[in-house]
Amino acid sequence: MTIITEALKYSAAGDELHGHLAYDDAISGERPGVLIIHEWWGLNDYMRERAAQIAGLGYAALALDMYGEGKVGSSADEAGALMTTVLNDMDTGTARLQAGFDALAGHSLVDKARVGAMGYCFGGAMVLHMARIGMPLQAVVSFHGSLGSFHKPAPGEVKAKILVCHGADDSLVPTEDIENFKSEMKEAQADMEFIAYEGALHGFTSREADANGAQFGLPLAYDETADRESWQAMEALFDHVF
């Protein structure tokens, strides 16, 4: 196994986006592709680490840049401002998601008929949005992601299988959002699995969550069990659909 990583620049609506591609050079020919969408911090080393892990499973991984020009927040205020800019203009956000999909699906390493997406926190909301609007993904996985909706799908509109990995003690995701999400998915006749990990808080997959929570006064914490089990659930789903 030889994991190759490289910058991959693409654009949406005139904005230059700085993605990060990872793949196993020991594999020949086309393989499934997986989009990875970052937390509110931006495309940082954590997302690059996850891209390498996905590449190690035999997929081509593209970590997207949702903020443009590779911007990354160095504080909770900066990250929140970057995220809010996207959330307040989801036409642009959707264009960036589509551009990222096109960049990966159109890559010579990727079988465009086998593409999935996974996202963390803000990125979880983004991959769920991709599923809601019917993008041609085989599966999407949200890790401690926001569940609020920018688009209510019609029955049959959701094409992707959906896996939501949620911290049962995540105080940043309102109970009302969970109930509304489940109802929305049922009405859309979506193929959805919702797993709540007992005792897990927001950010449970990130080893930096405890330090970030302490530094910025946020209810975040790493949970080794939830991290491991959610990753295994994601692997099983991708194995099934690919």
* pLDDT tens digits, 29-55: 999 999 999 999 999 999 999 999 999
Q: At a CB cut-off of 8 Å and minimum separation 6, what does 183 contact?
A: none
Coil, strand or helix at 46? helix
| Residue 6: band (very low, low, confident or very high) from pLDDT cuts 50, 70, 90 | very high
> Would the CA dihedral through 227, 209, 45, 127 be positive or negative?
positive
pLDDT for the residue numbered 91: 95
* pLDDT tens digits, 158-217: 999 999 999 999 999 999 999 999 999 999 999 999 999 999 999 999 999 999 999 999
H/E segment holding residue 83: helix 76-87
- In terms of Cβ atoms closer than 10 Å to its own Cβ (0-12, 13-18, 19+), residue 100 is buried
DSSP secondary structure letter of residue 33:
E
pLDDT for the residue numbered 232: 98
pLDDT for residue 122 is more than 90:
yes
Bridge partners of 3?
24
Print the domain residue range for 214: 3-241
Q: At a CB cut-off of 8 Å and minimum separation 6, what does 20 contact?
A: 5, 6, 7, 8, 43, 47, 48, 51, 62, 63, 65
Residues 119-138, mean pLDDT to the nearest whole number: 98
Query: What domain count does the chain have?
Result: 1
Q: What angle is formed at CA 64 by the lines to CA 213 and CA 129, rounded to 5 degrees?
A: 80
Dihedral (Cα; 167, 211, 125, 103), 10-degree rounding: -130
Nearest to 37 by CA among 80, 95, 101: 101
Task: Determine the Cα–Cα distance for residues 55 and 179; give it in Å rounded to an integer.
Answer: 34
Q: At a CB cut-off of 8 Å and minimum separation 6, what does 1 contact?
A: 24, 26, 56
Buried b / exposed e across 4-39, counting CB within 10 Å, b at 16+?
A: eeeebebebeeeebbbbbbbbeeeeeebbbbbbbbb
* pLDDT tens digits, 71-87: 999 999 999 999 999 99
Residues 8-30, mean pLDDT to the nearest whole number: 95
Nearest to 64 by CA among 30, 114, 105: 105
Q: What angle is formed at CA 196 by the lines to CA 225 and CA 118, rounded to 5 degrees?
A: 80
| Residue 9: band (very low, low, confident or very high) from pLDDT cuts 50, 70, 90 | very high
Task: Indicate which CATH number applies to the domain containing 112.
Answer: 3.40.50.1820
- In terms of Cβ atoms closer than 10 Å to its own Cβ (0-12, 13-18, 19+), residue 224 is exposed
pLDDT for the residue numbered 13: 87
| Residue 145: band (very low, low, confident or very high) from pLDDT cuts 50, 70, 90 | very high
Coil, strand or helix at 41? coil
pLDDT for the residue numbered 1: 82
